[in-house]
Amino acid sequence: MNTQTLNMSALVMKLTGNGRVDMGRDQLLQAAGLLLGIGGLLVAMVLPLWTILSKSMQDRDGNFVGFDNFVAYAETPSLASSVIHSLTIASVTTVVVLSLALLTAYALTRSCMPFKGIIRVVMMAPIFAPSLLPAISLVYLFGNQGVLKSWLMGETVYGPIGIVISLAFWCFPAATMILVTALSNTDARLYESARALRTSPLRTFFTVTLPSIRYGLISAGFVVFTLVITDFGAPKVIGGQYNVLATDIYKQVIGQQNFEMGAVVSVILLLPAMLAFAADRWVQKKQVAMLSARAEPLRPKASPLKDRVLLALCLPIIATIIGVLGMAVYASLVTFWPYNLELSFNNYQFDLMDGGGWEAYYNSLQLGFWVALFGTALIFINAWLVVKVPTMNGLRGTLHLMAMLPLAVPGLVLGLAYIFFFNKPDNPFNGLYGTMAILVICTIAHYYTVCHLTAVTALKQIDPEFEAVSASLKVPFYVTFWRVTLPVCLPALLEIAIYLFVNALNTVSAVVFLYSTDTMLASVAVLNMDDAGDIAPAAAMGVLLMVTCFAAKGIHWLLSKYLLERTQGWRMY
């Protein structure tokens, strides 16, 4: 052995306690883990989707009718127009969001403008709010009795205008984070060459900057397009009579109890989401590394005029975010809009409203806790099996492929698929229907892929020599996993946990078909109160969810700091 291998062996022996186990048993346990992971995703994702595909080709009596349901849908003008509406809203919103996100990301990474830290924090705020909250806020700003109604110059906010504004607000942080990452990975030598050739800043932007971030820009576009075309909350609250595919599913299932047509619309909604996902995967395969080993990081230089101009351009965006969220908070505190503007907490008396009361909020906290706990554990273990098991490539590839599937499935489609699959009397998992457990399973499945990719990225950063040396020393793999892998990947685990918690609190589409009287959730209560005309209490519940997410993020930051100082001190040296 060379010196490095001997040092690694000594480190592994010290960390693991030099336990011994039969390697055949290790492989048996790993194979069992892979099979369990595949079986879990099969039940939580693949079989429900297959059920909804089958349902779309059946009549009310369960007889196979082929594509007759799709033909009937296409021949209904009011329903078929929803496809055009959805594509139009998604396209317009994507263009708006990418333009604003590119401006903000460029200002944050390529300038020395003041208040960059504050702008970054404000930029992230919409992530912590449910998608219904900006729509409710826009009603108070531009609705029939809105304070800024005259700004629309006779147009109405109830329709495509309101949907685009609210969804652009909601999707803006996700696109900005992607573009900030893309703009941060730039070789400074390209810009030095441009300056040496006396290339104008505008031409440098189009010939150097845009080509270097084209893959990030395309990826952000696909993310926004998918989020918009599959969102249910904003169109339901502020869409008025402007139907889109997501609201069509809700109306067919909840309003008309037409499950077969709901399945048809779900399949149609699934197609653009899957196409966008496939295109994004194809683009990422074409992407090449923009940073070589000799690359130099780009450090922006102070330019008073440029910095002031970019700050001036960013201020309206930041003011809009603060204004929309601030209006939601204010509306939740107004006694009776617009006749009694005295501030009070009357709208927070949820037990007096039609929406589930405070119990719905406590149920959401419970859902967030279980999703974060079980979801983090299951996702990380499955990711470890995909990355770190040295053999069984077929099983590992199958598990990884199934882990990528949820990213292309809209939450509304997944929720409806769960009804068809778990509500069957002959299904052995039928007992889960109507319980908190099915909400936990559905939420974990809905947000599985992003967490899986986060865990895979963290695990790939660990030198494979740890596992190789452990195997050579016949140390049980689970000992190495517990003593080495988990502590090293702790930052990623904490990020996965807070991501799952926040999304579990705010999700609507994935659970709107699955809750029962005992498992009403706060996010669904916002929708129900808005339907009942209790808009101010709906805003109050949305604000409460947002504040809870901010508090959870603060606790997550403090806990992360404490745990990382205790277990990650070696990173400082």
Q: Taking a C-beta distance cutoff of 8 angstroms, is the pair 112, 302 a contact?
A: yes
Say if residues 34 and 385 touch (Cβ distance below 8 Å): yes
CA distance 239 to 446: 24
Measure the CA–CA gap between 314 and 102, rounded to whole angstroms.
11
Q: What is the largest CA-CA distance in the chain?
A: 82
The structure tokens listed for 98 are 């990418």
pLDDT attached to residue 191: 61
Give CA–CA dist 365/522, Å, rounded: 9
Distances (CA, A) of 103 to 127, 217, 298, 441: 19, 12, 18, 38
Q: Please check whether residue 355 is in contact with residue 529, taking contact to mean a CB–CB distance below 8 angstroms.
A: yes
Nearest alpha-carbon partner for 133 in 329, 315, 322: 329
Distances (CA, A) of 507 to 92, 439, 504, 512: 24, 11, 5, 9
Running DSSP on this structure, what letter comes out for residue 157? S
- If you ran DSSP here, which 8-state letter would residue 205 be given? I
pLDDT at position 463: 60
What is the phi/psi pair of residue 140, to 5°? -70, -25
For residues 167 and 234, is the Cβ–Cβ distance under 8 A? yes
* Phi, psi of 418, rounded to the nearest 5 degrees: -65, -35
Beta strands (DSSP E) in 139-274 are: none
For residue 155, what are the contacts with CB-CB under 8 A and spacing of at least 6? 161
Both tokens of 163, joined, read 């949907």
Instruction: Decide if 408 contacts 450 (C-beta within 8 A).
Output: no
pLDDT of residue 5: 47
Amino acid at 567: T
Q: Is 148 helix (H, G, I), strand (E, B) or coil?
A: coil
pTM: 0.83
| pLDDT score, position 280 | 63
**Beta-carbon neighbour count of residue 228 at 10 Å?**
26
Closest CA to 392 of 21, 29, 66: 29
Other beta carbons within 10 angstroms of residue 382's beta carbon come to: 26
Q: How far apart are CA 536 and CA 530, in angstroms?
A: 8
Confidence at residue 19, expressed as pLDDT on a 0 to 100 scale: 47
Question: Which pair of tokens denotes residue 226?
Answer: 């998918």
pLDDT score, position 192: 64
pLDDT at site 567:
66
* Digitized pLDDT (tens) for each residue of the chain, 573 residues in all: 444 444 544 444 454 444 444 556 767 887 888 899 999 999 999 999 899 888 888 877 778 888 888 888 777 777 778 888 988 999 999 999 999 999 998 888 888 888 888 888 888 889 898 888 999 999 999 988 888 888 887 788 898 999 999 999 999 988 888 888 777 766 566 666 666 666 667 777 767 677 777 777 887 888 888 888 888 888 888 888 888 888 888 887 776 777 788 888 888 888 777 777 677 667 656 655 444 444 455 667 777 888 888 899 999 999 999 999 999 999 999 988 888 888 889 889 888 877 778 999 999 999 999 999 999 999 989 988 888 777 777 888 888 888 888 877 888 888 888 988 998 888 899 889 889 999 999 999 999 988 888 888 777 766 666 666 666 666 666 677 777 777 777 888 888 999 999 999 998 888 888 888 889 999 999 988 888 888 899 999 999 999 999 999 999 888 888 877 776 655 544
In this structure, are residues 484 and 15 in contact, taking their beta carbons and an 8 Å threshold? yes
Q: Is 309 exposed, middle or buried (0-12, 13-18, 19+ CB in 10 A)?
A: middle
**389 closest CA partner among 397, 494, 41, 401:** 397
Q: Which residue carries 């195997």 as its tokens?
A: 471
Fill in the DSSP letter of residue 302: P
pLDDT for 476: 67
In whole numbers, what is the pLDDT of the chain averaged over residues?
81
Helix (H) or strand (E) holding 290, with range, is none
Residues 6+ apart with CB under 8 A from 204: 191, 194
In terms of C-beta density within 10 A (0-12 exposed, 13-18 middle, 19 or more buried), how is residue 29 classed? Answer: middle
What kind and span of H or E run contains 355?
none
Q: Residue 404: its pLDDT value, please?
A: 82
